[in-house]
Chain A
Amino acid sequence: MKQKLGLACTLVRPPQLLVLDEPTVGVDPLSRRELWQIVRHLVREQALTVLMSTAYLDEAERADRVVVLQGGRVLAEDAPESITRLAAGRAFALRPVAPDNARRLQARLLASDALIDAVPDAGAVRSVWRQAESALAAGAAAVTPRFEDGFMVLLRRTLAPEMHGEIVLAHPPAASSGPVIEVADLLKRFGAFTAVDRVSFRVARGEIFGLLGPNGAGKTTTFRMLCGLLTPSAGVLRIGGVDVRAAGDAARAQLGYVAQKFSLYGPLSARENLEFFASAYGLRGARRRARIDWALRQFELMQADGAAADLPGGFKQRLAMAAALLHEPRILFLDEPTSGADPLARRAFWRRIAALADQGVTVVVTTHFMQEAEYCDHIVIMDAGRVLAQGTPAEVRARAPREGERDPTMEDAFIAVVEQARAAETAVVAGAA
């Protein structure tokens, strides 16, 4: 909404050039689509020139020309189709065979030298290979390349793939029976306004659970209740079998929390931040030292000197995650962890999350990135405080109407689900009137 208003202000007096600096960071798919419709309309009707920077590659694909920048240098300047063509004949999809899932398959594929890139997509793993032969040998099916594939090919020419992301837990959480998180008829009212309206879901151990929804859907409120930052007005909320309302301390001891802005103490160094959070979680003596060492090593923070505020974004994100994992929680909460991050940082982040989940940590994440929902085992789509859809990504995707050849993406499903719900709501209101 703010972005739309900002755009409108700039356009009151129609300019010839419109400069947009990452206009869609932190914006949900619905609003993003509306913003793009306005921009496209202006380009067509008013012959406006638009210069836009973005870390979202599906947006870059809609441009007439793109400039790819890396480390301050121009890697390419061309039409998006030409960049997409770099991956021609090398893009494949590989379906996981049960009980394997797309995420684990992706992790295995990435460990191989034969691949340039792999991401879970629509139930399969979308991958770009160095040689088409090896892909075919692995049983992958060729797919039409898209911009992101070409972009990764371009990037891999200069950048070696990072090997980080292999988090090894010192003491993985013990197996448990029953759900780790149990939410039933959760309700939160602020005065007359109902922010969260009878939400129910369960999360099992070692799952990645995604909370999706447009801005203002109530996912942040739900999230804050899960972390014990807000008291629910009504409903059941159990973390590890403990009622959060009755025993907040016991529930909180089991969870780690990474806030949206990577809440770190800016003036303190990485080590000082870790030392503080270690003490905050009551770690002492040898265990404290061991945990801080573990965090510095596993999250590659050894060489992070100086104030946390001056660290690059990727370092900050790793430091925030490390701080949240110091006390070896069973559950990790992440609030829009990849908002504004570039494609490479996003991949590295998800590899870490996947590794944590595989070792038994339960992960709850909110995101605006529908593609990223594919990494989750289960997702919930919320709007206006209510759950509109939930299930595995495949189940939710199935709710999108099929148009032509293309398999519906998670973004299609999201938009369809939210618009259906809003239309029904309007119909009810109209009927009442």
Chain B
Amino acid sequence: MRAEVSDAAHARLARVRTLVRKEWRQMIRDPASIAMGVVLPVILILLFGYGLSLDVKNVPLAVLDQDGSALARGLIGGLQLSPYFQPRPVASLRAAEALLAARRVDGILTVPQQFARRARAGGAVVQLVVSGTDANTARIIEAYVNGVVAAWAAREAPALAGPVRVQSRLWFNEANDSRYFLVPGLIVLVMTLIGAFLTAMVVAREWERGTFEALFVTPVRAAEILLGKTLPYFALGMVGLVLCVLAGRFLFHVPVRGSLAVLLLGSMLYMLVAVGIGLLISSAVKNQLVASQVTLLATFMPAFMLSGLLFDLRSMPAPIRALTYVLPARYFVALLQTTFLAGDIWSVIVPNALALLAMVAVIALVLGAITRKRLA
């Protein structure tokens, strides 16, 4: 009896191994898979690491000094010392506004007449005009100018500088380097691309060609088929993960403060979800073109826009916030940003990992039901 059981288990294992080997060969011999699984991720890594940055530096700023006093020059000197600005003296407001309209400068700082006299008495005003065509950059510029002005005031007129002084700190990212959160975000995108997108496209193609149906008449079981399909893409996704972590650590110098084990386990969970979604979409539409578009809309775009990778989820309107709770990327972004930058903080890791685990379970159940139904 026991021997029989172990024989059956053996046969099963052998079947899964055969399937995995077949899928793997198919995957690495298919130029489309290689392009999707290797070339696109590498492009993404380079674009994210080098191309995307929210760090404003060397802002060209027109400076109009209508006062000309030593105090005013001191304030402007503060701008010159700051790495964030490239001040450009102008002679008139008209000239400055022409520069701003032509986008040669991002803002105009005006130090008005009588500035020195008023500053000593309190109540001087420095005027900043920014271009709101890029609102986020404009706000960062405003904050930086504010910082320069406050530092100047604290130095020149400590008595008048205001009773509450602020000491601000940016935990986990003291240098305020936007790569620190863009690189973990990149991993989410790469794994979504390989897991959901590639799987959906390749399996949809198998549906189109009828090779998937041919599998169903073999004695292979539903769970085995799913396992055979999932594992190679899962492995490719892990390769993508390793690439990203290495690039993040050594090319872009993003710290990994949590443990690699958590990073790996969390990524495996997300990869399972992504591959599962890819399989679900492909078996629902069975057409490469539609599958790729649905996957793009349902996984890639949300992973970019609605995951907290770039935009803060808490500030989105309630219906959209509710929508983000069904998106796996949301949980993975939280998990990754924490593991990379903050360390093994279980109060973040556990709930997010559990959410992903629940998604794996639901997807596995649905997939199992669909596959069994087709076998019956």
Contacts and interface: CB of A to CB of B under 8 A. Distances in A.
Interface of A: 6, 9, 13, 19
Interface residues of B, number: 3
A13 B18 CA distance: 14
Main secondary structure of the interface of B (DSSP, over half): loop
Contacts of B219: 13
Contacts of B217: 19
4 contacts: A6-B214, A9-B214, A13-B219, A19-B217
A3 to B, nearest CB: 13
A9 B219 CA distance: 13
Interface of B: 214, 217, 219
Contacts of B214: 6, 9
A67 to B, nearest CB: 21
Contacts of A9: 214
B17 to A, nearest CB: 15
Contacts of A6: 214
B286 to A, nearest CB: 16
Nearest to B217: A19
A19 B214 CA distance: 11
A250 B217 CA distance: 53
Contacts of A19: 217
Nearest to B219: A13
A9 B217 CA distance: 12
A13 B219 CA distance: 10
A19 B213 CA distance: 13
B321 to A, nearest CB: 40
B217 to A, nearest CB: 8
B252 to A, nearest CB: 44
A199 to B, nearest CB: 34
A186 B363 CA distance: 59
B215 to A, nearest CB: 11
Nearest to A6: B214
A3 B219 CA distance: 21
A50 to B, nearest CB: 15
A19 B218 CA distance: 12
Nearest to A9: B214
A13 B217 CA distance: 13
A13 B15 CA distance: 12
A281 to B, nearest CB: 30
B21 to A, nearest CB: 14
B159 to A, nearest CB: 79
A344 B217 CA distance: 32
Contacts of A13: 219
B97 to A, nearest CB: 55
A9 B210 CA distance: 14
B137 to A, nearest CB: 46
A164 to B, nearest CB: 33
Nearest to A19: B217
State the 3 A-B residue pairs at the shortest beta-carbon distance, nearest first. Answer: A13-B219, A19-B217, A9-B214
A9 B215 CA distance: 11
A169 to B, nearest CB: 40
A6 B217 CA distance: 13
A7 B217 CA distance: 13
B208 to A, nearest CB: 15
A19 B219 CA distance: 15
A19 B217 CA distance: 10
A266 B41 CA distance: 36
A9 B214 CA distance: 10
A193 to B, nearest CB: 21
A266 to B, nearest CB: 13
B123 to A, nearest CB: 73
A13 B214 CA distance: 14
A313 to B, nearest CB: 18
B358 to A, nearest CB: 39
Nearest to A12: B218
A51 B322 CA distance: 55
B316 to A, nearest CB: 39
A337 to B, nearest CB: 24
B187 to A, nearest CB: 38
A55 B217 CA distance: 24
B22 to A, nearest CB: 11
A346 to B, nearest CB: 25
A12 to B, nearest CB: 10
A6 B219 CA distance: 16
B376 to A, nearest CB: 18
A283 B214 CA distance: 47
A312 B124 CA distance: 85
A163 to B, nearest CB: 38
